[in-house]
Amino acid sequence: MSRRNPFRPTFGASPYHWAGRSLILEEFSEALHGHPGHPSRSMVIDGARGIGKTVLLTELEDLAAQQGWVVLRATGRADAVRTLIDTTIPAKIAELDPPAGRTVTAVQVSGFRVDTELLDAPTPTPTLGTRMRHLLGLLRGTGVLITVDEVQDADPETLSEIALTHQDLVRDDRDVALVMAGLTHGINRLLDLPGTTFLRRARRFELGPLTDADAHAILTATAADSGRPFVGNATDTAVRIARGYPYLVQLVGFLAWNRAGDTITVHDVEAVRQEAVRMMGAQVHAPSLKGVPPAQLDYLRAMAELTDEEVSSAAVAEHLGRRPNEVTDTRGKLLDRGLIEAPAWGRVSFTLPYLAEFLRGDSRPTRVS
Ligand SMILES: Nc1ncnc2c1ncn2[C@@H]1O[C@H](COP(=O)(O)OP(=O)(O)OP(=O)(O)O)[C@@H](O)[C@H]1O
Ligand SMILES: [Mg+2]
């Protein structure tokens, strides 16, 4: 029995127990088995901070690797394509096709050492396309997956070059897949740029909360495997606090596990609620609100004063002392940012759990008597 905390409330850290997202995993697996040009071989995954984009990307990479595909991780930085061409792809090629030892590396010509390579015809500068074709030529019955995370911060030219090369290879019936992930706001902005047209046609998934059943399964299995199980109604309480938000599932599990004895009780879970919400504020809410213009913040605060969940947009406008049509634009921008949702016509709700509390300042540390 391990006595190390098995929960992983860390961005990008794959959980010990996975649950949910099965539609995407199945569809991708099917696509890999399918023919070149299968629509789900090009995917764009978006969603709020901490909703599980990075670990899903890792899961998709694992799926591909299990099926014998070569996985290339690209950053979105301006030098990403160069890195693929000069380093990442050549390394994979060398793995699959180790270069034979060169027999003659140099010859003597009237006293000078001349590399034989210099005497060869000049080779064209490799591009992402030629490198990919070389790599693909070494594979039989499998293909190459490229993944890009944090697309919202990516260099548009890098993305468009990767996307265009992918599109070109798809047209030539090559076995390639491309999966990109990022925050909703950034992705929407990106898909509006010229040169990323192709990505607009990719299979798009927006990650929402996990179901309560999935959250329950993650908590139960993770704790039980570590030898410190949830008992009584403790799991249900943790599920209620986590509200399907994957980062909170890990965080509540982590904090409760730490303070528990041999078993995790309802009391342990309730005792960490405030700490979990506070950490959520620091790790998720604060960074999500960074750079949000004042008018949008005012809108969010007005919402928070009216509700924890959902409210009519007319009521928000009234609370702001404005006519509904005067705040339509602000509302649209917040929807686009993925900070609010429209659960029904004329209604708005917060995407991130506990954002209302955060905006009201409810979760500041309270004094304990
Ligand atoms: N399906 C899942 N099952 C169990 N745990 C999950 C699942 N998805 C995400 N998590 C957990 O939730 C947390 C956040 O996941 P992740 O880092 O992938 O989020 P993200 O969407 O990439 O966030 P960011 O926008 O900040 O990059 C991690 O602790 C991760 O282990
Ligand atoms: Mg991430």
pLDDT-derived band at 143, boundaries 50, 70, 90: very high
Instruction: Report the pLDDT value the prediction gives residue 156, as an integer from 0 to 100.
Output: 87
Distance from the alpha carbon of residue 10 to the mean position of ligand 1, in angstroms: 8
pLDDT-derived band at 190, boundaries 50, 70, 90: confident
Q: Which ligand sits nearest to residue 56's alpha carbon?
A: 1
Q: Which of 55, 184, 284, 288 to mutate to test the pocket of ligand 1 (most atoms within 8 A of CB)?
A: 55
Helix, coil or strand: residue 301:
helix
Q: Would the pLDDT of 150 be above 50?
A: yes
Share of the chain above pLDDT 70, in %: 90
Mean pLDDT of 13-33: 95
- What six digits make up the tokens of 325? 């049509």
Q: Which has the minimum average pLDDT: 150-154, 221-225, 280-284?
A: 150-154
Q: Would the pLDDT of 106 be above 70?
A: no
Q: Would the pLDDT of 98 be above 90?
A: no
Mean pLDDT of 215-219: 98
**What is the overall mean pLDDT for the chain?**
90
Q: Which ligand sits nearest to residue 12's alpha carbon?
A: 1
pLDDT tens-digit series, residues 234-265 = 999 999 999 999 999 999 999 999 999 999 99
Instruction: Report the pLDDT value the prediction gives residue 182, as an integer from 0 to 100.
Output: 93
DSSP for 43-97, please give it. Answer: EEEEESTTSSHHHHHHHHHHHHHHTT-EEEEE-SSTTHHHHIIIIIHHHHHHHHS
pLDDT-derived band at 185, boundaries 50, 70, 90: confident
Map out the domains of the chain with their CATH numbers.
22-98+122-206 (3.40.50.300), 212-288 (1.10.8), 291-360 (1.10.10.10)
Q: Provide the 10 A C-beta neighbour count for residue 331.
A: 19
Distance from the alpha carbon of residue 19 to the mean position of ligand 1, in angstroms: 11
Instruction: Report the pLDDT value the prediction gives residue 369, as an integer from 0 to 100.
Output: 52
- Distance CA(80)–CA(65), nearest Å, equals 21
Residue 133 amino acid letter: R
Instruction: Report the pLDDT value the prediction gives residue 244, as an integer from 0 to 100.
Output: 96
Mean pLDDT of 309-323: 95
Instruction: Report the pLDDT value the prediction gives residue 103, as an integer from 0 to 100.
Output: 47
Whether the Cβ atoms of residue 228 and residue 263 lie closer than 8 Å to each other: yes
Q: Would the pLDDT of 107 be above 60?
A: no
Q: Which has the minimum average pLDDT: 132-146, 196-210, 312-326?
A: 196-210
Q: Would the pLDDT of 317 be above 50?
A: yes
Instruction: Report the pLDDT value the prediction gives residue 119, as an integer from 0 to 100.
Output: 53
Residue of higher predicted confidence among 193 and 272: 272
Ligand 1 cavity residues, CB under 6 Å: 8-15, 18-21, 47, 49-55, 183, 218, 246-247, 250
Q: Would the pLDDT of 165 be above 90?
A: yes
Distance from the alpha carbon of residue 182 to the mean position of ligand 2, in angstroms: 7
Whether the Cβ atoms of residue 153 and residue 117 lie closer than 8 Å to each other: no
Q: Would the pLDDT of 232 be above 80?
A: yes
Residue 225 amino acid letter: D
pLDDT tens-digit series, residues 318-358 = 999 999 999 999 999 999 888 999 999 999 999 999 999 99
Instruction: Report the pLDDT value the prediction gives residue 320, as an integer from 0 to 100.
Output: 96
- What six digits make up the tokens of 69? 């595909």
Backbone Cα Rg of the chain: 25
Instruction: Report the pLDDT value the prediction gives residue 121, as an integer from 0 to 100.
Output: 65
Mean pLDDT of 271-275: 96
Q: Would the pLDDT of 100 be above 80?
A: no
Q: Which ligand sits nearest to residue 152's alpha carbon?
A: 1
Distance from the alpha carbon of residue 98 to the mean position of ligand 1, in angstroms: 37
pLDDT tens-digit series, residues 76-89 = 899 999 999 999 99
Q: Would the pLDDT of 186 be above 90?
A: no
